[in-house]
Structure 1
Amino acid sequence: MQFFKLKTRISKFDDFGGFAQDFNLSDKDLVITNEFLYEPFMKPLNLPCHFVMQEKYGFGEPSDEMMNSILNDVKKLDFNRVIAVGGGTVIDISKLFVLKGLTNVVDAFERKIELVKEKELVIIPTTCGTGSEVTNISIAEIKSKQTKMGLAVDELLADDAVLIPELLRGLPYKFYVFSSIDALIHAVESFVSPKSNPYTQIYCKAAIESILDIFVKIGQQGPEYRFERLEDMLVASNYAGIAFGNTGVGAVHALSYPLGGNYHVPHGEANYQFFTEVFKLYNKKNPTGCIAEVNKLMADKLGTTTENVYNKLEEVLSALLSKNKLSSYGMKESEIEAFTQSVFEKQGRLLANNYVELSKEEVSEIYRSLF
């Protein structure tokens, strides 16, 4: 069994100008980004690249409609490298644009076309959660099917991942929290994955320790503390991405997708709703496996016992931002069974990566308990 791979080169720069010079940006580059990033960091450099502002095509999570609209506009441009500068939406969109002969992204997600990479891909994350700069996964809302779909193939791997901590400075606190909680979930789910191994666990441990340390100190010192640790959080998110890029994630993500797909809840926020409940159930079903190791790791960082670790974790996370009831997003109690069915019909790739097998009744009960 393959333990570990990392095909993406990782670089770090103090500012965008240093990156632009070192990577020799030119008129053969398509840069997909956002206006609020372009104006302060890219526009003053007078770069000759082709720029696409993602928000002109829609807001929120990436969708097939959004991707296809951008695809239609850029197909007439001459470029051989795609540069993603943004959060999860920008990154997931950009990954698809390296594929040869793509005319409808749904064809790629459903694997109806041969997936051939024909352009270079550079990813610069501007949030601290997805880890997508080092994974082979793109996720989009497929509106016609009212769900999210993931495409995981090595053709989507970035050639280069570039970390520029200053780009996180303008990230609003709410998005910082949800994205960094997502990074923590990546690391914890990766640690207990059936594919987990000593190599990936090194990255998981480093990510968990760093993220929890930052969370505890934000709780003690206030939201402004995050600015003292921007690079630490960006690196921790990258570590978590490297880990789950090799192991995958599981039920937390699987349960979140119907909520995100039906009610447009951002990815990190949706994952947050299910995190501790899924792991409480995992721990109840098999407390003696590798979950015991991650429980001790988290308990030590949180200054509590392993028996109390999930209650303490909820306390720390709630001090950052409170967790919502599923009903607050518009979900109806009558949808619990439909959501459960959707998880088992459409998220088999993730459920196969669970720490322990979960039944439909158990998944339904998690939804019910959080409703």
Structure 2
Amino acid sequence: MTPFTFATTPSIVFGAGAAQRIGTLGAERLGPRVLVVTDAGLVRAGLVAPALAALEAAGIAVATFADVVADPPESVVAAAIAAARAHGATGIVGLGGGSSLDVAKLVALIAGSGERLADAYGVGNARGPRLPLMLAPTTAGTGSEVTPISIVTTGAHTKMGVVSPVLLPDVALLDPDLTLGLPAPVTAATGVDAMVHAIEAYTSASANANPVSKALAREALRLLGGAIETACRNGADREARGAMLLGSMLAGQAFANSPVAAVHALAYPLGGHFGIPHGLSNALVLTHVMRFNLPAAAGAYAELGPCAFPDCPPDADAFIARLDALSAAIGLAPRLRDVGVPEDALDLLADDAMGQTRLLVNNPREVTRADAWGIYRAAW
């Protein structure tokens, strides 16, 4: 057995109604002045007000930054940092989807350490210390509450990541009730995103691929595969919502330590150039990347099939077929052309995907530029 390291969020609080404990947890962990980082949609949906009231009832002075947008640009991160400094924040709460949680991580880092965001990009460059941090997801997809990663849009079509264990929060607060109002299309896309995290973690060629991540990935797929159709069909099903949220977190723990690969590398340019949501971008290329990987990963895929779908035989092709059927059943677009990607963009996408070296190095099979183009063509 090869050496490995495994790091995750030190405190995880899970359960229906867990968000009611945000005030108590905040008073214990975050200090007297807290900035809540979220988005305007959650404010309108009424999910933010109870958290603010609970924090205030615990004697905490609270301010809100609600300007997070999907695929947040550097300007949003800078504005949130400025809000934290203006409030004199002693702690940060991230409440929302992956974008809000990613911004909250960077606010805690930069407001706490004073380092420049530009210097933190890359792997292991963020030094800290950061402010105390609690993350409460409202989607079941990114697993950001247990990952040391934050992704920022740095240009018109480019993204960069900050990757450092400093970004792991002090507390992950997982309340399925916060996800009850999630629309079916978002539930579907984010749910498949979480499944991709588990699949890629299980097959990662990273030197830190490890048995802990593999075990978590299998359990994540069991939970996600068994709940995603129910959660999409009946968004008020607390059991399904809880399974999705827990499965997403376990998949996040898995890929945080055994990193993702070509599916994500090919998904990022789709978001950058065409604004396709990250989860849907992953779903569009997932099975095409898996077919490309079969010469190197067929055995691992065969092991995963029955984890996600108990009636699936231990066969890689059968697993891939079931994933395609799942995407169709939950209403995800099947092809790139269906989401507005023109055929003449495939060269651009392939060029950009090859720049994702941080991810491609983890793929079980080497990906050339011609390979990337071929995968996009198959997905088109």
> How far apart, CA to CA, are the structure 2 residues paired with 1:198 and 1:181?
23
> How far apart, CA to CA, are the structure 2 residues paired with 1:160 and 1:8?
7
> How far apart, CA to CA, are the structure 2 residues paired with 1:101 and 1:225?
41
- Deviation digits for residues 247-281 of structure 1 (CA, Å, limit 9, x no counterpart): 01011100011111112222111111111111111
Q: Secondary structure at the match of 2:317?
A: coil
Aligned to 2:357: 348
> Which letter maps to 1:198?
P
Aligned to 2:96: 86
In the alignment, is residue 147 of structure 1 matched against residue 152 of structure 2? Answer: no
Alpha carbons of structure 1 residues 303 and 216: separation in structure 2 relative to 1, 3 Å? farther
Contact 2:140 2:190 in 1 (8 A): yes
Shift, 1:38, TM fit: 4.4
Contact 2:199 2:217 in 1 (8 A): yes
- Deviation digits for residues 19-62 of structure 1 (CA, Å, limit 9, x no counterpart): 312432664211112313545522554714433243xx363221
Aligned to 1:32: 37
> How far apart, CA to CA, are the structure 2 residues paired with 1:215 and 1:339?
29
Q: Secondary structure at the match of 1:76?
A: helix
> How far apart, CA to CA, are the structure 2 residues paired with 1:114 and 1:214?
36
Shift, 1:228, TM fit: 3.3
Alpha carbons of structure 1 residues 299 and 162: separation in structure 2 relative to 1, 3 Å? closer
Alpha carbons of structure 1 residues 187 and 88: separation in structure 2 relative to 1, 3 Å? same
Aligned to 1:5: 7
Q: Secondary structure at the match of 1:139?
A: strand
> How far apart, CA to CA, are the structure 1 residues paired with 2:203 and 2:234?
30
Shift, 1:242, TM fit: 0.8
In the alignment, is residue 250 of structure 1 matched against residue 261 of structure 2? Answer: yes
> How far apart, CA to CA, are the structure 2 residues paired with 1:113 and 1:241?
21
> How far apart, CA to CA, are the structure 1 residues paired with 2:214 and 2:123?
31
Q: Which of 226, 240, 245 is the matching residue for 1:213?
A: 226
Shift, 1:67, TM fit: 1.3
Aligned to 1:130: 142
Contact 1:215 1:317 in 2 (8 A): no
> Which letter maps to 2:14?
K
Worse-superposed segment, 260-269 or 129-138: 260-269
Alpha carbons of structure 1 residues 230 and 120: separation in structure 2 relative to 1, 3 Å? same
Alpha carbons of structure 1 residues 2 and 39: separation in structure 2 relative to 1, 3 Å? closer
- Deviation digits for residues 75-96 of structure 1 (CA, Å, limit 9, x no counterpart): 2221221111111010010111
Q: Which of 23, 26, 36 is the matching residue for 1:23?
A: 26
Q: Cα RMSD (Å) of the superposition? A: 2.6
In the alignment, is residue 164 of structure 1 matched against residue 167 of structure 2? Answer: no
For 1:188-207, list aligned pairs within 5 A.
Answer: 188-194=199-205, 195-207=208-220
For 1:54-133, list aligned pairs within 5 A.
Answer: 54=66, 57=67, 59-99=69-109, 100=112, 102=114, 105-109=117-121, 115-133=127-145
> Which letter maps to 1:29?
V
> How far apart, CA to CA, are the structure 1 residues paired with 2:337 and 2:99?
25
For 1:351-362, list aligned pairs within 5 A.
Answer: 351-362=360-371
- Taking only the aligned residue pairs, the percentage that are identical comes to 27
Contact 2:140 2:245 in 1 (8 A): yes
Contact 2:68 2:103 in 1 (8 A): no
Aligned to 1:237: 248
Q: Which runs of 5+ in 2 are unaligned?
A: none
Contact 1:26 1:49 in 2 (8 A): no
Alpha carbons of structure 1 residues 322 and 177: separation in structure 2 relative to 1, 3 Å? closer
> Which letter maps to 1:178?
A
- Deviation digits for residues 284-318 of structure 1 (CA, Å, limit 9, x no counterpart): x2255433322454454446854322122211221
> How far apart, CA to CA, are the structure 1 residues paired with 2:134 and 2:357?
30
> Which letter maps to 2:372?
V
Alpha carbons of structure 1 residues 234 and 49: separation in structure 2 relative to 1, 3 Å? farther
Aligned to 1:323: 333
TM-score, length of structure 1 as denominator length: 0.89
Shift, 1:97, TM fit: 1.1
Alpha carbons of structure 1 residues 119 and 287: separation in structure 2 relative to 1, 3 Å? closer
> How far apart, CA to CA, are the structure 1 residues paired with 2:176 and 2:103?
22
> How far apart, CA to CA, are the structure 2 residues paired with 1:110 and 1:303?
40
Contact 2:182 2:235 in 1 (8 A): no
Aligned to 1:185: 196
Worse-superposed segment, 227-236 or 325-334: 325-334
- Deviation digits for residues 117-151 of structure 1 (CA, Å, limit 9, x no counterpart): 2311111111111111111000121125x212111
TM-score, length of structure 2 as denominator length: 0.87
Shift, 1:358, TM fit: 1.6
Q: Which of 306, 313, 328 is the matching residue for 2:323?
A: 313
> How far apart, CA to CA, are the structure 2 residues paired with 1:216 and 1:70?
36
Q: Secondary structure at the match of 2:6?
A: coil
Q: Which runs of 5+ in 1 are unaligned?
A: none
